[in-house]
Amino acid sequence: MKEKVILAYSGGLDTTALIPWLKETFNYEVICCCVNCGQGNELDGLDERAKLSGAAKLYIEDITDEFCDDVIVPCVQAGAVYEHKYLLGTSMARPVIAKRLVEIARKEGATTICHGATGKGNDQIRFELAIKALAPDLKIIAPWRMTDVWTMQSREDEIEFCKKHGIDLPFDMSHSYSRDRNLWHISHEGLELEDPANEPNYDHMLVLGVTPENAPDEGEYVTMTFEAGIPKTINGKEMKVSEIITELNALGGKHGIGIVDIVENRVVGMKSRGVYETPGGTILMEAHQQLEELILDRDTMETKKKLGSQFAQVVYEGKWFTPLREAIQAFVESTQKYVTGEVKFKLYKGNIIKAGTTSPYSLYNESLASFTTGDLYDHNDASGFITLFGLPLKVRAMKMMEVENNTK
């Protein structure tokens, strides 16, 4: 009886060529698994394509809600942004994809999981760390690192290999951007982006929206509510998180929101350039932060900001299934108990403009904050505070003056 391998399958040329290659090279029975994280019509026709390519079976697993509820929401609550710009669209999806691959491997009694990530990127790390954490007994095949047996170096090589094995499918021969898409974002790499001196060709590139210049000349107001840090409604309509992100994607794309051009530091040590479209995610992160700043006290917010940056790095490096991620997430969740309220903002040509925030747990006190004197604050109280707050500075300055005078 042949051993079974679970192939992380997208239906693209690379993973289609892997089906006959795995059968020919290792004599595996190939079980394909395509994990849907909200990538839309990219899934059309996959079943027929996998079977024509020699797969014994294809699983199409929709984990969109799990992705949103179990990964996206914790990242939004943490304010997790990698290197100040990247909202972790690809990074967040990999752990839940790997988790489902492991579940299918257990169901099928497979011994191995195969992925098509390259030897230069971050995804090989993310997939394999997750698999090692969840199923240390499973073998992992990464063909792009197996240069002794994986000899195909171009799309033309892969198409020729497929044809030799009776797979004659209409693959796109054009050299386009390398893209990754899910409900949260779409990424673009390659072509003119490989030279940081080049401006992105946005007219040719963008999928989810338009540039700010091409956005409507009139802004659009949006109201959202949150309960305990979880988004609940848009413009009065209650929805689950995946539906909220879908709606925000449409709104954000329309108004040129969330287009980021970044040169990032990969885990493997090199810099890479990418353009990310995250229209709905950018709005959701901003709306959540807009509410938090009304509710969280200063010390909690400062600590959360530091841990949020660390959380982003943990996610980026593929360390989702670790005690550290669980510990940081537990802290973040404890801060969300009172993050409840309503935020209003205007979308206009790439901008998210505040238009009002309310919460029953707001720490903003108009009597304290206004320029008029209220019952809770006496201006004279500031004198003693400043004396104590500035005491270390004063003591040091006095000592420096003493030293300077003694050396004259």
* Residue 203 annotated in active site: no
Report the DSSP beta bridge partners of residue 237: 234
- The burial of 332, by beta-carbon neighbours within 10 Å (0-12 exposed, 13-18 middle, 19 or more buried), is given as buried
Catalytic annotation on 148? no
- Virtual CA dihedral for 99, 76, 236, 182, nearest 10 degrees? -50
Euclidean distance between the first and final Cα of the chain, in Å? 92
Catalytic residue among 14, 47, 65, 70: 14
Q: Cα(296)–Cα(338) distance, rounded to whole angstroms?
A: 8
Q: How far is Cα 247 from Cα 183, in angstroms, rounded to an integer?
A: 11
Which residue out of 49, 53, 100, 123 is catalytically annotated?
A: 123
Q: Where on the phi/psi map is residue 246: left (φ > 0), alpha (ψ -120 to 50), or beta?
A: alpha
Q: Provide CB contacts within 8 A for 348, sequence distance 6+.
A: 215, 218, 219, 220, 255
94 catalytically annotated: yes
Longest dimension (CA), the chain: 92
DSSP 3-state of 341: strand
* Residue 75 to residue 329: CA distance in whole angstroms: 9
CA–CA distance, 112 with 138 (Å, rounded to integer) = 5
Which residue of the set 49, 53, 94, 273 is catalytic?
94
Helix (H, G, I), strand (E, B) or coil at 304: helix
Of 47, 70, 178, 362, the catalytic one is: 178
Active site residues: 14, 94, 123, 178
